[in-house]
Amino acid sequence: MRQEVGQLEVATRGRGLIEITNEVARWIAGTGIQTGLVTLLCRHTSASLLINENAAPAVQRDMLRWLEQVAPEGPHYEHDDEGPDDMPAHLKSALTGVNLSIPVSDGRMLLGTWQGIYLAEHRTSPHQRRVVLHVMGE
Amino acid sequence: MRQEVGQLEVATRGRGLIEITNEVARWIAGTGIQTGLVTLLCRHTSASLLINENAAPAVQRDMLRWLEQVAPEGPHYEHDDEGPDDMPAHLKSALTGVNLSIPVSDGRMLLGTWQGIYLAEHRTSPHQRRVVLHVMGE
Amino acid sequence: MRQEVGQLEVATRGRGLIEITNEVARWIAGTGIQTGLVTLLCRHTSASLLINENAAPAVQRDMLRWLEQVAPEGPHYEHDDEGPDDMPAHLKSALTGVNLSIPVSDGRMLLGTWQGIYLAEHRTSPHQRRVVLHVMGE
């Protein structure tokens, strides 16, 4: 049993969902681990990780609109030093979470057919985001 | 230190919460692992996993009604190819999450007294759902 | 590769967020594990775990107010045996989650600069809360 730690750098273009399934899969393949557990941690509080349907692009657009409705911008936040999109970004990050663990078998993540891993950027402007990767297995 | 991978099949009856705590516990017992970490992954984007109160059935009914309110059906979704309950199901799945990791000691999950593990079916019609199980330990 | 299991006791003062990052870090340091994966499980269904911004206290206050809005108290819950704050507490717990896994390197959690780990107490009155800790690594 052994483990490896790595990091993905993701350049976002502002608010949106970016699929990172292939990048994570390639990193796991590079470790040579066949059976194990991979864990992802998004190292930010205004971006998050999400497993979502990866077939229809409309799903991602509806998801973003829904997040806007659940955690809208507005004058009612006490914390607004970094702009009106900052506090809603923290709320969306808490709602969707920054952490995923996925079992690996035959060197591949055991995701369902329609599941993709997404980095969700909740700020309006582009950011450089970092996702820590950890895999343990053999 | 060793690991095992398995899968639970859960037949749902449409929208609802199905407790799977006992099924997961039995699977762990079958592996013989006494101390470790068990990880569950629901392989769908319109069903999810939830740790919830397992004593009062009314809690589950209130939970379902609340999810309806937070992610209601309606004509405002762009993605509706699979019916009006499809996009709300993706939203509820993102909100509650598809992934859980639970420490194991003395061969048992270290859940609290009132905690049960639930598969949440968010589609209106019955589905066959798969939950991947992974345990690592000794 | 080895593992350790522990538990944090957190005394809450009623509804609020309590940062536990330092307590978790100290526990990991005590295990001597340098590289690995730490998993936290909050053993309750009316409290939860959250990774949130740890710099501005206003973020925590906005987070609490938002949770009140998303899962408000009211007469519309079927489950109210334990008081009007009980069912909203279960909903907030489901929304934010009770489970976190964080990679460890050089004996430290690989959290981002602004990320803190919080126990969220969702009940109005003070409670004694337990968080299970599990670390696996070497």
Which tokens hold the place of A99? Answer: 């952490």
- Give chain B's length: 138
Percent of chain B exceeding pLDDT 90 equals 99
Q: What pLDDT sits at residue C6?
A: 98
Which tokens hold the place of B111? Answer: 């859940």
**pLDDT single digits (tens) A5-15:** 999 999 999 99
Q: What pLDDT sits at residue C30?
A: 98
Mutate to test the interface with A, among B4, B39, B90, B138 (most CBs of A within 10 A): B90
Domains in chain C with CATH codes: 2-137 (2.60.120.460)
Closest CA to A98 of A122, A79, A62: A122
Closest CA to A119 of A9, A25, A2, A31: A9
Q: What pLDDT sits at residue B76?
A: 94
Q: What pLDDT sits at residue C2?
A: 97
Tens place of pLDDT for every residue, chain C, 138 residues?
999 999 999 999 999 999 999 999 999 999 999 999 999 999 999 999 999 999 999 999 999 999 999 999 999 999 998 999 999 999 999 999 999 999 999 999 999 999 999 999 999 999 999 999 999 999
Enumerate the residues of chain A whose CB falls inside 8 A of the CB of residue B85: none
Rounded to a whole number of angstroms, the distance from the CA of C126 to the nearest CA of chain B is 18
Please tell me if residue C11 touches chain A, with a CB cutoff of 8 Å: no
Q: Give chain B's mean pLDDT.
A: 97
Please tell me if residue C98 touches chain B, with a CB cutoff of 8 Å: yes
Enumerate the residues of chain C whose CB falls inside 8 A of the CB of residue B63: 90-91, 94
Q: What pLDDT sits at residue A73?
A: 96
Rounded to a whole number of angstroms, the distance from the CA of B123 to the nearest CA of chain C is 19
Beta strand pairing status for B47-53 and B2-11?
A: unpaired
Quick check: A91 and C62 CB within 8 A?
A: yes
- Are C36 and A3 in contact by the 8 Å Cβ rule? The answer is yes
Chain C neighbours, 3+ Cβ pairs < 8 A:
A, B
Q: What pLDDT sits at residue C81?
A: 86
Please tell me if residue A136 touches chain C, with a CB cutoff of 8 Å: yes
Which SS3 state, helix, strand or coil, does residue A112 take?
coil
Q: Is A131 left (phi over 0), alpha (psi -120 to 50) or beta?
A: beta
Tally of CA atoms within 13 A in the half-sphere of A53 that contains its CB? 22
Quick check: A52 and B97 CB within 8 A?
A: no
Element (H, E) at C60: helix C57-70
pLDDT at B81 over 90: no
List beta partners, residue B128: B11
Q: What pLDDT sits at residue A81?
A: 86
Nearest to A66 among B44, B91, B101 (CB): B91
Q: Which whole number is the average pLDDT over B64-75?
A: 97
Tally of CA atoms within 13 A in the half-sphere of B60 that contains its CB? 20
Q: What pLDDT sits at residue C10?
A: 98
List beta partners, residue A115: A53
Please tell me if residue C39 touches chain B, with a CB cutoff of 8 Å: yes
Enumerate the residues of chain C whose CB falls inside 8 A of the CB of residue A45: 51-53, 112, 114-115
**pLDDT single digits (tens) A72-121:** 999 999 999 899 999 999 999 999 999 999 999 999 999 999 999 999 99
Q: What pLDDT sits at residue C23?
A: 98
Enumerate the residues of chain B whose CB falls inside 8 A of the CB of residue C101: 101
Q: How many whole angstroms separate alpha carbon A63 and alpha carbon B115?
A: 29
List beta partners, residue A128: A11
- Are A24 and A8 in contact by the 8 Å Cβ rule? The answer is yes
Q: How many whole angstroms separate alpha carbon B109 and alpha carbon B105?
A: 6
Enumerate the residues of chain A whose CB falls inside 8 A of the CB of residue C66: 71, 91
pLDDT at A39 over 90: yes
Nearest to A136 among B43, B79, B136 (CB): B136
